[in-house]
Amino acid sequence: MRIAFQGAEGAYSEAAARRAWPHAETVGCESFEAVFDAVTAGRVSHGLLPVENSVGGSIHRNYDLLLESDLPIVAETELPVVHNLLALPGVRKGDIRRVLSHPQGLAQCERYLRRLEGVELVATYDTAGSARMIRDAGSKDTAAIASARAAELFGLETIEPAIQDFPDNITRFVLIAREPHVRGQADKTSIAFALHNAPGALFKALSVFALRDIDLTKLESRPARGRPWEYVFFADLGVGRDDMRCARAIVHLAESAQWVKTLGSYPRSAPALDRPVLDVSA
């Protein structure tokens, strides 16, 4: 099993893959698009994508890519995220003039960063990549928000640990593959759909799940790319695609929707905070 992830070694996506599938080989990619390309081309067997954070919300780019792609979701996992403020050895907090991190990392530490006066926040493509940039440039006035493992890998020191705004900071990841081979019993299904602009259209769409006692664990709308003021809905259903209730609900939804796409059906992950406590930053 080879799992592609976006970012450098030490990224949270790599940590999530190593935690959920400890015997898998992990392969870093520069972008989320590159993860999809690696799976499609067969260079890896799977790709792991962050799709939602309990503080920062959805990673919208990955929902757009899931919609554009035909690669199905075959599993999910959750990772408690611990952010640390990292810098080169000898750098003090008062020396810092810039902080680098992925936009989600910056958003998840917003309260802490607000207290750093005169510091520029710079969004980068990756948390661990930010740590590597500081190492490579030898920047004595720059810090990164990243994991403790990133500090070890790139020779940085932790100026301040666990700076995230909320202790229960959890990121949800989905595993994609070329074929819908699911390990275990699927009890969750992700779909996307678009509706005609008509009174009560969303009410009617959601009623197909309520009538069958299907729990919606997520519902979110996104602008339809290339179609101004039209929207796509993403939903997670608390039931597997092979369950007759789910199958009938999706058929029922398709009768009134513009279109419906199943993104994958897979076993739901156990809540991250219910698992044994591990050093998730390693």
Active site residues: 171, 173
CB 183 within 8 A of CB 173: no
β-strand pairing of 46-53 with 57-58: antiparallel
Helix (H, G, I), strand (E, B) or coil at 204: helix
Closest CA to 224 of 250, 259, 200, 256: 259
Q: Which residues contact 181 (CB under 8 A, 6 or more apart)?
A: 74
Residue 243: other Cβ atoms inside 10 A: 18
Helix (H, G, I), strand (E, B) or coil at 134: helix
Q: Is 45 helix (H, G, I), strand (E, B) or coil?
A: coil
What residues contact residue 277 under an 8 Å CB cut-off, 6+ apart?
A: none
- Bridge partners (DSSP) of residue 70 are none
Check if the beta carbon of residue 1 is closer than 8 Å to that of residue 23. Answer: yes
